[in-house]
Structure 1
Amino acid sequence: MRRYLLAVIAASSLAGLAHAQDYTRYQGGWNGPFLFYVVQQDTGAQGPPEVYPGALQIDFDGRVHGDVPEAACMMMGSSTDYVSPANASIELTVSGCRDARFNGHFSGKLINNPALKYASLRLSSMRSLDSGTAQISAIIRH
């Protein structure tokens, strides 16, 4: 009985690992460097971008939550399939950021690259700033 129980635990652990490495769906835990920058239509980036490690969790019911601790940013929102189950349209509310330009509603896409085992996240602020539009980008991995 004990041997059977250990086999079941090992199999479920391996199944979790195989699922965690699945790049054919956008759901799951993502980690990587998050790039924060402000762009202006006619002149490009305004000031140096800031890069911080962060994490994003996309639940199977579409809920999204994450944080970028060094920037003091929390993210909450929702996701839906975009073109295929590997990619997502994402709507987020970002709050608590030390740089207040990055607080607010963001919209964008998570595009998976299953062959190279990463995803690209591109989010734009839905409000216009005097200095331009706040952007958050990331190359993230499971």
Structure 2
Amino acid sequence: MATQTAAQRREEARLAYNAYLAGCPSRKLLDTLSDKWVSLVLAALADGPCRYSELARTVAGVSQKMLTQTLRTMERDGLVSRTITPSVPVRVDYRLTSLGEDLVPLMQAIKSWAEIHMDEVEAARQAYDSSAASGDA
């Protein structure tokens, strides 16, 4: 087996994981990462470990079922780890793994972009809706 350079390994991975292809596993990962609850939970855990109840308070509007499902998905993908401390009641803490921590700057940039540009997006939506309503679209 020949030794590969880092550039060769990156190129091989790029060819193996092309998200434009329907069957590519990276497309499923992009689906997960683009979920609003995943991005909000990731941002909430960026400051450090949290208990389930803390996450539920921080991520306003998420149902118990959706938060549980989101955390399980993130744990399965290696983004979050779950630690159970036997006590009464049982304490469960969630924290980002190193893989999840690598993702934080990207997700925080997207969150910041959305917050900064929301007025412009709302104006574009209103202009589009007005145009569509008048039959210009």
TM-score range, shorter chain: under 0.3
The structure with more strand, counted as a fraction of residues: 1
Higher relative contact order (CA 8 A, sep 6+): 1
Per the normalisation by structure 2, the TM-score is 0.25
The structure with more helix, counted as a fraction of residues: 2
Per the normalisation by structure 1, the TM-score is 0.24
The structure with the largest alpha-carbon Rg is: 2
